[in-house]
A and B are shown apart, each in its own frame.
Chain A
Amino acid sequence: ILNVEQSPQSLHVQEGDSTNFTCSFPSSNFYALHWYRWETAKSPEALFVMTLNGDEKKKGRISATLNTKEGYSYLYIKGSQPEDSATYLCAFNSGDDKIIFGKGTRLHILP
């Protein structure tokens, strides 16, 4: 059974501080890893698609890295703002058409 773990489960960060969290996935049969941002009462929206070992993607203050050999990806947020409060999901795609989601990291930005 494929397992995708995200840590921490929940995180409180002071506005202006930087933070990061982790997604761990199986290191074999890797095809792609997706990061999604999921705001309360909305649907998940794609942030990054990571496909190659060593990939680094950036969108504004948010960036992500990928290590497929050891099976982890980090999401970084620099200078957290209130609008960053959301649940961040990662999804592992092994190429066999099933997609396994982690349980998410719930980020709260404190004013």
Chain B
Amino acid sequence: EAQVTQNPRYLITVTGKKLTVTCSQNMNHEYMSWYRQDPGLGLRQIYYSMNVEVTDKGDVPEGYKVSRKEKRNFPLILESPSPNQTSLYFCASRTEGRSHQPQHFGDGTRLSIL
């Protein structure tokens, strides 16, 4: 089954404790992206990747890092999480960067930073 898998689905942690949210897709998609969803603000893009070893900042990259060492994986790293990063996070992928195709979304990761 074609899917985007995020882990963990839920996490409560404390300020400053490094965490990684993993994202994996099994569709051989080139383009992958991370979004955060906050009430009243909609989905905002954090980082995206056009292909392996190619990553770019989205609209709200501060406080986040990503890597794309393999095509299928695109982890989101919070080196020193802060309470303002409490949010619902979605990973998404699509066939290629410059494409009309829509994105496939993971099920979301709800992060609470205390």
Contacts and interface: CB of A to CB of B under 8 A. Distances in A.
Nearest to A89: B43
Instruction: Tell me which of B56, B98, B103, B104 has the highest count of chain A C-beta atoms within 10 A of its own C-beta.
Output: B103
A97 B42 contact: no
Interface string A83-111: 00000010101010111111110000000
B107 A98 contact: no
A6 B114 CA distance: 33
B101 to A, nearest CB: 7
Contacts of B44: 101
A89 B37 CA distance: 12
Interface residues of A, number: 23
A32 B40 CA distance: 24
Interface residues of B, number: 26
Residue among A34, A42, A44, A93 with the highest chain B CB neighbour number at 10 A:
A44
B102 A34 contact: yes
Given A43-B106, A49-B101, A101 B56 contact: no
B102 A101 contact: no
Contacts of B31: 97
Interface of B: 31, 33, 35, 40-45, 48, 50, 56, 58-59, 90, 97-98, 100-108
Closest 5 CB pairs of A and B: A46-B102, A103-B42, A43-B105, A101-B43, A32-B100
19 contacts: A32-B100, A34-B102, A34-B103, A42-B107, A43-B108, A44-B90, A46-B102, A49-B102, A89-B43, A91-B102, A95-B98, A98-B58, A99-B45, A100-B59, A101-B42, A101-B43, A101-B45, A103-B40, A103-B42
